[in-house]
Chains A and B, each alone.
Chain A
Amino acid sequence: MESGRPASSTTTVWLVLLVASAASLWLGSDATDRSHTAAAVGVLAIAFAKIWLIVRYFMEVRFAPLWLRLSLDAWVAGVFVAITALYLTFAVG
């Protein structure tokens, strides 16, 4: 039962995810209305950083073969870029 190291690394990631969630909630609140475009991009960046951590550490993709790591990295980066581009093109009011 010496699974100390991996368990503690995923526990650290879990805590980081909770803190990041609190940060995105704060960023997305109306208190930061002064520059809501920057806040929105920040919200998206935090969300996809969290998703990347879940993929890497919870799904254990950090130990996966290159094809799988690249596929998921491409998904995370591609969706982040596509959504941010669409947001900046159409949704900035």
Chain B
Amino acid sequence: MQLAKQAATSPGESAGSAARVTPGEIRVPGESGFWILILGDLTAFALMFCVFIYYRGHDVGLYLDSQLRLNRAFGALNVVLLLTSSWCVVQGVEAFRERITQRARRCFGAGFLLGAGFVVVKVLEYGDKVREGIAASTNEFFMFFYVLTGIHLLHLVIGLGVLAWMRAKSRSEWSTHRDVALAECGGVYWHMVDLLWVALFALLYLLR
């Protein structure tokens, strides 16, 4: 989309060329098969969200009281960290496609650091809860809290590995179409981690 004003791909260019995209072109970001994985993961989370709301409805008071023991500042800070990290990764994928390697590396590096910041905040938050004697066994709300945020954190840590790979890959000026497609898949995965946190923040921290 965007980029590549002159889609001037010379006849000999193919395997070693950057994946240029013409404006307005209809195309699958990344690989089609990867989207099946993303849609499956999104569906699994959607079911967990619905189960949470369903159980919440059977003991609203407990959920509201328990929610007050969460630190919204931690949750909100993590929203900002992940949204900003996602934005950096968008810029990184753009630069990667354009073969602006240094910019791609900087953007993926910044995205990684912001994502790592999320982990630090999460560890601080879990630490606070443990010091207060709050565990998954405390009550149903905190069982959901630890399970949902824990599964999300696992996804995020995998995403950090992907971002580190993307940063390393962007060192080369000779990215192939496949490299670009893989970088786009990495970006899509990272944005999924971001949007899942947007939903979790609303459900766990904000919904009264």
Give A contacts to B, CB under 8 Å.
1-3, 5-7, 10-11, 14, 17-18, 21, 24-25, 27-28, 30, 33, 36, 39-40, 43-44, 46-48, 50-51, 54-55, 57-65, 68, 71-72, 75, 78-79, 82-83, 86-87, 89-91, 93
Q: Which residues of B contact A6 (CB under 8 A)?
A: 1-3, 94
Q: Which residues of B contact A87 (CB under 8 A)?
A: 53, 57, 207
Please classify how large the interface on chain B is, using the bins under 10, 10 to 19, 20 to 34, 35 or more: 35 or more
CA A39 to CA B53, docked complex, whole Å: 16
Query: Which listed residue, B3, B53, B56, B198, touches A50 by the CB 8 Å rule?
Result: B198
Q: Which residues of B contact A33 (CB under 8 A)?
A: 208
CA A57 to CA B187, docked complex, whole Å: 12
The answer to whether B90 touches A58, judged by C-beta atoms less than 8 angstroms apart, is yes
Q: Which residues of B contact A21 (CB under 8 A)?
A: 76, 79-80, 83, 198
Task: Tell which of A46, A57, A59, A90 has the most Cβ of chain B within 10 Å.
Answer: A59
B194, CB-defined interface residue at 8 Å:
yes
CA A54 to CA B95, docked complex, whole Å: 19
Closest Cβ neighbor of A71 among chain B residues = B39
Closest Cβ neighbor of A48 among chain B residues = B199
Give B contacts to A, CB under 8 Å.
1-3, 5, 24-29, 35, 39, 42-43, 46, 49-50, 53-54, 56-58, 60-61, 64, 72, 76, 79-80, 83-84, 86-87, 89-91, 94-95, 98, 100, 184, 187-188, 191-192, 194-195, 198-199, 201-203, 205-208
Closest Cβ neighbor of B64 among chain A residues = A93
CA A21 to CA B58, docked complex, whole Å: 28
Q: Which residues of A contact B64 (CB under 8 A)?
A: 93
Q: Which residues of B contact A30 (CB under 8 A)?
A: 208
CA A68 to CA B57, docked complex, whole Å: 33
The answer to whether A82 touches B50, judged by C-beta atoms less than 8 angstroms apart, is yes
The answer to whether A83 touches B80, judged by C-beta atoms less than 8 angstroms apart, is no
Q: Which residues of A contact B86 (CB under 8 A)?
A: 14, 54, 58
Q: Which residues of A contact B72 (CB under 8 A)?
A: 25, 28
Query: Which listed residue, A1, A43, A64, A75, touches B42 by the CB 8 Å rule?
Result: A75
A58 with B87, Cβ < 8 A, contacts A86-B57, A91-B60 known? yes
Q: Which residues of A contact B202 (CB under 8 A)?
A: 24, 28, 43-44, 46-47
The answer to whether A90 touches B53, judged by C-beta atoms less than 8 angstroms apart, is yes
The answer to whether B57 touches A61, judged by C-beta atoms less than 8 angstroms apart, is no
The answer to whether A63 touches B25, judged by C-beta atoms less than 8 angstroms apart, is yes
CA A1 to CA B3, docked complex, whole Å: 9
CA A48 to CA B72, docked complex, whole Å: 19
A54 with B208, Cβ < 8 A, contacts A43-B202, A64-B28, A91-B57 known? no
Task: Tell which of A11, A28, A65 has the most Cβ of chain B within 10 Å.
Answer: A28
